[in-house]
A = this chain, B = another copy of it.
Amino acid sequence: MGNYPLALTKIQESSYVLLFHTPRKKWLTKVASDKKFHTHLGIIDVSSIIGMEYGSAVRTTEGKVIFLMEPTIHDFIMKSERKTQIVYPKDLGYIAARTGLKNGSKVLEIGTGSGALATFMASIVKPEGHIYSFDVNSEFVEIAKRNLEKAGMDKYVTILQHDPHQGIDVHDADVATVDLGDPWTVLDQVYDALKGGGAFVAICPTMNQIEKTAAQLRKSGYADIACVELMIREMEAREGMTRPSMRMIGHTAYLVFARKVEKLQERIYQPAGEEGEEEKEEIENKEVSE
């Protein structure tokens, strides 16, 4: 069935394991001999799991079943240390899908935050790609570095404690992500760092931010500007009683996408016509619901 790398599914000392009981009761820990992991479901003898296969079950001292899962980037991110809001998997995934992030991509990140986005992007662009991440906050930078090391992504990410407004010494980036309170202030610097046609995305919690960012993008040599929000809802899928979950996340952030293009003399922006089309096709005419 063709070439494929040998799957290393045995748990080794110093590697990480996700001790899984249920979706709400799971813990990420580093494997070490003589280690005992205490939970409210009992104690797990971590040393005894060395050499076991991922997916195996062990029991706590109280007899509760714990599955030994191999942590994914998703697990590392959800269990990461943070002093600031992480970027959520639904948004991480869409950023990757929309920007064409792939092995070998060179990525410029403005605003390292907790490192969640860098962690995820590194897992995609490695081994040939690299993330160059800028943040002025030394505390965030330290936390991000720890999170990246824990996830094994640190060698694919260079974090620079440097103010991007002063200029960005990165060239021909395939993708640029911006997670700042005022993304519209770095669009020129990011433009210069991107390759022609390179992808841009800003992560903006508020409406005010997307408004200013989109307006500034239109004036700064970017095209194909789009702004989206993704929502996720869990379903309780049980025989005879399937329904959506009663709670859900209301909002994480809006994502503003664009692509770097040639700057032209005349002002280029998404023609009002495009948006006008939408106005005319008023919902009631199409009888879509209600």
Say whether B172 contacts A249, CB under 8 Å: no
> In the complex the two chains form, is B85's CB within 8 Å of A89's CB?
no
Known contacts A206-B241, A247-B249, A283-B246; is-contact A106 B7 (Cβ 8 Å): yes
- Copies of this chain, complex-wide, total 4
Task: Report which of B69, B229, B245, B279 forms a contact with A224, defined as CB distance below 8 A.
Answer: B69
- CB pair A94–B86 under 8 Å, yes or no, is no
Tell me if A260 counts as interface (CB < 8 A to partner B).
yes
Question: A223 touches which one: B5, B7, B20 (CB < 8 A)?
Answer: B20
Cβ of A176 < 8 Å from any Cβ of B? no
A178 CB to closest chain B CB (Å) equals 15
Q: How many A residues touch B, CB cutoff 8 Å?
A: 130
* B127 engages A278 (CB within 8 Å): no
Q: Least Cβ distance of A85 to chain B in Å?
A: 7
With A1-B170, A55-B260, A228-B232 given, is the CB distance from A100 to B126 under 8 Å?
Answer: no
What residues of B have a CB within 8 angstroms of the CB of A196 in the complex? Answer: 9, 53-56
Question: Which of A30-38, A43-51, A139-147, A208-216 contacts its partner?
Answer: A208-216
Instruction: Quote the shortest CB–CB distance from A147 to chain B (angstroms).
Output: 14
- Inter-subunit contact B96/A245 (CB<8 Å): no
Q: Which residues of B contact A6 (CB under 8 A)?
A: 172
The answer to whether A97 touches B100, judged by C-beta atoms less than 8 angstroms apart, is: no
A54 to B65, CA, bound (A): 55
Task: Pick from B171, B198, B226, B283: contact of A55, CB below 8 A.
Answer: B198
Cβ contact of A174, chosen from B7, B128, B250, cutoff 8 A? B7
CB pair B92 A97 closer than 8 Å: yes
Nearest Cβ on chain B to A18's Cβ, whole angstroms? 9
Report which of B197, B212, B279 forms a contact with A68, defined as CB distance below 8 A.
Answer: B197
Are B246 and A24 in contact (CB-based, < 8 A)? Answer: no
Q: Are B235 and A254 in contact (CB under 8 A)?
A: yes
- Is A154 interfacial (CB-CB < 8 Å)? no
Contacts of A249 in B (CB 8 A): 246-248, 283, 288-290
Instruction: Beyond A69-B224, A212-B239, A229-B244, list 5 extra A-B contacts (CB 8 Å).
Output: A65-B268, A67-B223, A69-B259, A102-B124, A206-B243
Q: What would be 27 A-B contacts, judged by CB atoms less than 8 Å apart?
A: A1-B132, A1-B170, A3-B130, A5-B104, A5-B128, A22-B270, A24-B287, A55-B195, A55-B196, A56-B262, A57-B264, A69-B224, A72-B199, A89-B290, A90-B90, A94-B232, A102-B124, A103-B127, A206-B243, A207-B243, A227-B236, A228-B235, A231-B232, A233-B250, A244-B250, A244-B251, A246-B252
10 A-B pairs with least C-beta separation: A72-B100, A55-B196, A93-B93, A93-B97, A54-B197, A248-B250, A244-B251, A214-B237, A7-B172, A55-B197
